[in-house]
């Protein structure tokens, strides 16, 4: 009896499961899409926002959902909150025009932008990638090649005024194969910071040093001699400190400073410029051999060694970035000798401690440089896919994603991000706002921010960073963009950068001479079929080249 009942129960269960699966398939079957009124972008942002809103409302949509991911230091959160704020502003416009559609934005912010990129790539095919991502422009090439992101060129054809407000080199970096795939979110320069206290202690005059660097009259040999002087006078423990781990991208400034190149526009290939790389390695080796640069520099810890050494005045020079200016104010790297506590520096203390200049020319006759790695908003080619009736309304959802990014480029959003994260503004309107005293004075109240979520997230850091010293720093470093170089937008570039890091570590530790390290790079490139096909090796290791030059 019991066995018979069990069999009936199993049979019923099978019938129920089959029926449920059948019903689910029937309910989710693709139907013939109904026609939806097409929305053409006109270049008038407010009008386009209204048109998209009306189209959504007419299609019976009351709520749309987007997701945005980004990453970086804790001060750069406007890379996701910019879209949240843009959504709030678009909803305000809709509300004023009788459009009752709500936008909700899911955010995700990692501390490592490369992890965001990896997750975007791995989750794209799983239909879990975000609609919008802010990340390094270097990823545009691989994302565009795979068809993961939208070509924005047709969407922005009527937005020439909007595009022309971006600094031209930064906007150019967003293009790949002649098409625009990203909208600039921020950019940066990588100054050399010099300890004013160490210079004063060693009797070194820093007056107009930045001008001499700009004119190419002050080279890395001069910096070496200064650092040596400061160390020999007992003013500092180290003459030079730089990043650890990856050589990407601070140290490759050396290649440009020695007139080298990393990318051949004509062939579309990466370049290993043996002469420039050899000179870079020779400079680092000379610093290390003179006891000015730690042999284990590439293994130092950022929080425990690199930043504390720099902010506590134990290094004469530091190859840093503009964002460090506020990072030193918001993180407790400084050990206050008066109170014994570890704390962030005050703006006036950062100003009193650090002189900043372009990355000097490698040798006489060469140019000073800096390096930028702009962040770009990119839009998923399936943007809006989380929303109802996607197949029918795909075009409208994608256009709304584009409008969200355009709105997130409002001058005040760019200016606020620049101030709190110490990145350089990407638009002229954003840069002008930084000089607007009224805007700066009102900033702690965040009068232009509509979203409470954004206000709550950034109010404390705005209070901490929005002051004349930081804004003056941004204004004083913006000129560096005229000297900027970019890392190549080549899918194989990250691999080459890792090889550079490996080689420089061997040079600093003394396990390879600079020449051996160059040969090592060539052999590593030849051993990897992908790299071998992607990199052309040019030039020769110079004979008899000396550093420092007298």
Partner 1 sequence: MPGMRDVEIRRRWVEVAIALAVLAFSLPVIIGYSLMILSSFSEKMVTGLDPASFQPTIQNWVLLFQGRTALFAGYRVDIWRIVLSTLTVALGISALVTLVGSLTGYAISRMKFAGRKHLMAFLILLHAFPGSVLVVGVAFIYRLFLPPYQYVHTYSFFFVILARASIEIPMATWLMKGFFDMIPWEIEWSAIVDGASRFRVWWKILLPMIKPGVAAVMLFGFLAGWMDLIYVRTFLAEPTLAVFIEHNANAEYAYLPLVAAAGTLYLLPTILFFLFAQRLIFTITVSGVKG
Dihedral sign of CA atoms 87, 88, 93, 98 in order: positive
**Phi and psi for 336 in degrees, rounded to 5?**
-75, 115
Measured from the CB atom, the residue of 308 and 539 that comes closer to partner 1 is: 308
The nearest distance, CB 74 to partner 1, in angstroms, is 3
Q: How far apart are CA 374 and CA 361, in angstroms?
A: 23
CA dihedral 373, 377, 381, 385 (to 10 degrees): 140
Q: Where are the alpha helices (DSSP H) in 173-248?
A: 196-201, 209-214, 220-232
Neighbours of 231 (CB within 10 A): 21
Measured from the CB atom, the residue of 84 and 101 that comes closer to partner 1 is: 84
The nearest distance, CB 1 to partner 1, in angstroms, is 7
The nearest distance, CB 81 to partner 1, in angstroms, is 8
Query: Under the rule (CB under 8 A), what is the footprint of partner 1?
Result: 1-3, 5-6, 28, 73-75, 77, 80, 107-112, 115, 119, 122-123, 125-128, 302-303, 327, 330-332, 342, 385-388, 390, 420, 453, 456-458, 460-461, 464
Strands 263-264 and 269-273, by their bridges, are antiparallel
The nearest distance, CB 118 to partner 1, in angstroms, is 9
Measured from the CB atom, the residue of 217 and 305 that comes closer to partner 1 is: 305
Measured from the CB atom, the residue of 222 and 327 that comes closer to partner 1 is: 327
Based on the number of CB atoms within 10 Å of its own CB, is 22 exposed (0-12), middle (13-18) or buried (19 or more)? exposed
Measured from the CB atom, the residue of 181 and 397 that comes closer to partner 1 is: 397
Measured from the CB atom, the residue of 44 and 104 that comes closer to partner 1 is: 104
Closest CA to 373 of 195, 200, 134, 99: 134
Measured from the CB atom, the residue of 246 and 261 that comes closer to partner 1 is: 246
Based on the number of CB atoms within 10 Å of its own CB, is 196 exposed (0-12), middle (13-18) or buried (19 or more)? middle
Measured from the CB atom, the residue of 92 and 304 that comes closer to partner 1 is: 304
Measured from the CB atom, the residue of 51 and 387 that comes closer to partner 1 is: 387
Measured from the CB atom, the residue of 107 and 282 that comes closer to partner 1 is: 107
Closest CA to 481 of 173, 222, 274, 206: 173
Closest CA to 203 of 245, 233, 171: 233
**Phi and psi for 411 in degrees, rounded to 5?**
-55, -40
The nearest distance, CB 386 to partner 1, in angstroms, is 6
Distance of CA 291 to the CA centre of its chain: 33
Q: How far apart are CA 134 and CA 379, in angstroms?
A: 9
**Phi and psi for 18 in degrees, rounded to 5?**
-60, -45
Q: How far apart are CA 463 and CA 470, in angstroms?
A: 12
The nearest distance, CB 429 to partner 1, in angstroms, is 24
Which single residue is written with the structure tokens 């020999």?
232
The nearest distance, CB 457 to partner 1, in angstroms, is 6
**How far from each other are the two terminal CA atoms of the chain, in whole angstroms?**
103
The nearest distance, CB 314 to partner 1, in angstroms, is 18
The nearest distance, CB 213 to partner 1, in angstroms, is 26
Token reading at 492: 């194989």
The nearest distance, CB 461 to partner 1, in angstroms, is 3
Q: How far apart are CA 74 and CA 544, in angstroms?
A: 47
């Amino acid at each position: 009896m019991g066995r018979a009942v069990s069999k009936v129960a199993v049979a019923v269960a099978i019938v129920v499961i089959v029926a449920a699966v059948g019903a689910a398939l029937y309910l989710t079957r693709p139907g013939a899409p109904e026609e939806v009124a097409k929305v053409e972008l006109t270049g008038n942002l407010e009008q386009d926002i209204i048109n998209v809103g009306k189209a959504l409302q007419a299609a019976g949509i009351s709520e749309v959902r987007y997701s945005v991911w980004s990453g970086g230091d804790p001060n750069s959160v406007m890379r996701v909150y910019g879209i949240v704020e843009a959504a709030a502003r678009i909803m305000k416009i809709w509300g004023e025009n009788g459009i009752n559609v709500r936008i909700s934005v899911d955010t995700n912010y990692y501390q490592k932008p490369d992890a965001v990129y990896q997750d975007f790539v791995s989750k794209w095919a799983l239909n879990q990638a975000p609609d919008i991502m802010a990340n390094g422009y270097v990823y545009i090439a691989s994302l565009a090649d795979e068809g993961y992101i939208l070509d924005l060129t047709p969407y922005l054809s009527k937005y020439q005024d909007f595009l022309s407000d971006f600094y031209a080199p930064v906007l150019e970096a967003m293009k790949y194969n002649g098409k625009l795939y990203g909208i600039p979110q921020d950019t940066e320069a990588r100054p050399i910071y010099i300890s004013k206290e160490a210079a004063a202690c060693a009797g070194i005059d820093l007056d107009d040093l930045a001008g001499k660097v700009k004119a190419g009259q002050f080279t890395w040999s001069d910096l070496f001699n200064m650092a040596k002087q400061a160390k020999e006078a007992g003013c500092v423990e180290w003459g030079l400190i730089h990043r650890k781990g990856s050589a990407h991208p601070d140290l490759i400034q050396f290649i440009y400073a020695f007139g080298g190149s990393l990318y051949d526009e004509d062939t579309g290939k990466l370049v290993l410029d043996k002469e420039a790389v050899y000179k870079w390695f020779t400079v680092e080796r000379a610093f290390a051999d003179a006891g000015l640069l730690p042999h284990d520099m590439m293994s130092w810890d950022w929080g425990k060694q690199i930043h504390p050494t720099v902010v506590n005045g134990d290094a004469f020079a530091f190859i840093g970035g503009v964002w460090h200016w506020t990072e030193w104010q918001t993180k407790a790297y400084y050990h206050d000798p008066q109170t014994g506590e570890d704390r962030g520096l005050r703006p006036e203390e950062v100003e009193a401690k650090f002189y900043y200049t372009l990355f000097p020319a490698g040798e006489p006759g060469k140019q000073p440089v800096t390096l930028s790695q702009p962040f770009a908003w990119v839009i998923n080619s399936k943007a809006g896919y989380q929303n109802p009736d996607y197949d029918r309304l795909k075009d409208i959802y994608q256009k709304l994603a584009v409008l969200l990014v355009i709105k997130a480029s409002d001058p005040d959003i760019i200016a606020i991000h620049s101030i709190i994260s110490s990145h350089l503004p990407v638009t002229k309107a954003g840069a002008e706002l930084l000089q607007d005293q009224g805007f700066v004075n009102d900033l702690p109240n965040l009068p232009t921010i509509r979203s409470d979520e954004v206000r709550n997230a950034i109010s404390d850091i705005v209070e901490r960073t929005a002051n004349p010293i930081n804004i003056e720093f941004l204004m004083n470093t913006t000129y560096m963009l005229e000297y900027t170089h970019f890392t190549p937008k080549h899918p194989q570039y990250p691999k080459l950068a890792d090889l550079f890091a490996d080689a420089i570590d061997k040079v600093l530790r003394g396990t390879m001479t600079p020449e051996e390290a160059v040969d090592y790079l060539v052999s590593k490139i030849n051993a990897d079929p992908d790299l071998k096909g992607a990199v052309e090796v040019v030039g020769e290791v110079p004979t008899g080249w000396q550093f420092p030059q007298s």
